[in-house]
Amino acid sequence: MNMFDAQVDAVRAAITTAGFPKVEIVVAETGWPYRGDAGEEGATVENTQAYNDGLVAHLHSLVGTPMAAGKSVDTYIFALYDEDMKPDPTSECSFSLFRLNLTPTYDADITKSSSNAAGPVSQVN
């Protein structure tokens, strides 16, 4: 139903085919840029909030993926701070949750909890 699940299940299918069906999957980095250069219209604060809010809600729902129903995946949201020194396009350097002075870059409510969750299902990287 969404690209996140499709990508996780693609990795799950490959690992299972390779003979390791019990290997746990951890998403080490996912996010959406909050600003970009000309031509990068999708890199907006609104899209970033929608992506992170949807991701956290999906993980906390414990719906899982089609191949692993009812199971959440430990997921780390990228990134805590911008990577200002990267020589890449603006969108590649603009994933931060916080500015260097510790104020939020945008209103990212990533602290939502679920009463049926045993612990955190999303982290900040």
83 catalytic per annotation: yes
Q: Is 41 a catalytic residue?
A: no
CB-based contacts of 55-59 (< 8 A; 24+ apart in sequence): 55/4, 55/30, 55/122, 56/109, 56/110, 56/112, 56/122, 57/112, 58/2, 58/4, 59/121, 59/122
Q: Point out the catalytic residue in the list 29, 46, 71, 112.
A: 29
| Rounded-to-integer distance, Cα 119 and Cα 125, Å | 17
Which candidate in 22, 24, 46, 83 is catalytic? 83
Q: Which position among 46, 71, 86, 112 bears the catalytic label? A: 86
Whether the CB-CB separation of 34 and 42 falls below 8 Å is answered with no
Told to judge if 92 belongs to the known catalytic residues of this protein, a careful annotator would answer: yes
Residues carrying an active site annotation: 29, 83, 86, 92
